[in-house]
Structure 1
Amino acid sequence: MPPARFQPGQLLPVAGQVRRHGGRRREAPEGAGAGEQPPEAVAGRGAPGHRGAEGRVRGKTLAPQRKREAIRRMCELTSISERRACRLAGISRDAFRHAPTPTPATQTLSARLVELAQARRRFGYRRLHDLLRPEFPQVNHKKIYRLYREAKLSVRRRKKAKFPAAQRQPLRPARHPNEVISMDFVFDQLASGRRIKCLTVADDFTHECVDIAVDHGISGAYVVRVLEQIACFRGYPRAVRTDNGPEFTSRAVDSPQFNAR
């Protein structure tokens, strides 16, 4: 066997020089013992926002345009200087005083967007983006929305028309046949699950079922055609009694040409 490289007497001085604290091992730190893992932190994300060095949750960063508006409000409502307001908002004074100038491509896109919005007044920014996609394929819907808001092209929601409440009249009974007829809808469902719509027409004096029109959809023009078919063999009644459904209050039913008959 080859002789050992170091003798036992030579290892002790070396170990004494390498180990600290006089050759004694250090005590284990307090807390988790040997073989035990420290408890992990609770999983999950923190509160939304940005955390500073002190751990305090801050609000989300505002856009440059919102920062400019906040600086103007601070200068108007308080005695704070513009320099300090810009420092608090995190924006330079040069960026506050000089708004970014849109590029020629953005100006062309904005002009085209305004042109389409004026031609299609009830279109929102998503449908306008579909129209602009063939001309500007590289522009996404977010930029269209930003230009849409800057140009103040938001479509106003239509309010439901409020009509003045008419004075109620007593219901006059019919005294002769074909004097007053009543019309109403009845709904049913087929075995396939598709709904059907039935327009029932009855004479108020004789209680006769004049006609029943069945279809999947009945509009105001459909109602006018049914009345004209009834008039071919009975003549036009003096009055028609209905509710305020959209089919009976449409332009086709309220047209002067039909009411004159």
Structure 2
Amino acid sequence: MNKTELKSFLDEKVILYNNQDFIESDPVQIPHLFTQKEDIEIAGFLSATISWGNRKMIVKNAHKMMDLMGNAPYDFVMSHREIDLERLETFVHRTFNGQDFIGFIKGLQHIYQNHIGLETIFSQNIEGNDLQNSIHQFKQHFFEIPHLSRTQKHISDPMNGSAAKRINMYLRWMCRQDNKGVDLGIWKSIPPSILSCPLDVHSGNVARKLGLLTRKQNDGKALAELDLNLRELDPIDPVKYDFALFGLGVFEGF
């Protein structure tokens, strides 16, 4: 396929998958449960954090996270007492355990109390035409307070060569608003044009088959290559093609 044919093909797949039917099997359904901005962004952040492995298990455990916080995530983050955190100790999703969950609650409280909030901390640290420095700075601030060293591994750092798939997916949820009902688009201070594609094994394999990616590893360098090629197809909203790449890989076995 030439570039025009490739764009047409991928645009069709975006239309096929970027609609409300997508929500039913995806962890993006968790932030959709809420209406208050802070509830949406905290629910989204925690759900994205555990988004690796079996999708049904991700959704199940993300719902459990919300239940453990009384389905009021912002209120829980800001108003919890130490005794309230004890019930989180039983939580586990793969290598993310109850102690990590407690650490994340304290980290989020720190972000809202001392850095104005999640949107502000990401939007204040943009450098160039992507959000890699924003993610790096967010991680630095998130772990400014006392924490277990093991918990740090649950936030990827692009400055260490990571593609940071889960946090880029979270940023897509928060910043894209195309009225299709999937991404929530509640953050207005970050343009969708600088978002990065959530690169994982599915999107990476499809991207290679389509000639959008040559690098074999799904790392930061591969993400930069993929971003460059997707921005040529649509400079305004390049990460809409995540729906096409993911859908082709997961639902069509492309």
TM-score range, shorter chain: under 0.3
Q: Which has the higher contact order (CA 8 A, sep 6+)?
A: 2
Taking structure 1 as the reference length, the TM-score comes to 0.19
Which of the two has higher C-alpha Rg? 1
More helix per residue: 2
Taking structure 2 as the reference length, the TM-score comes to 0.19
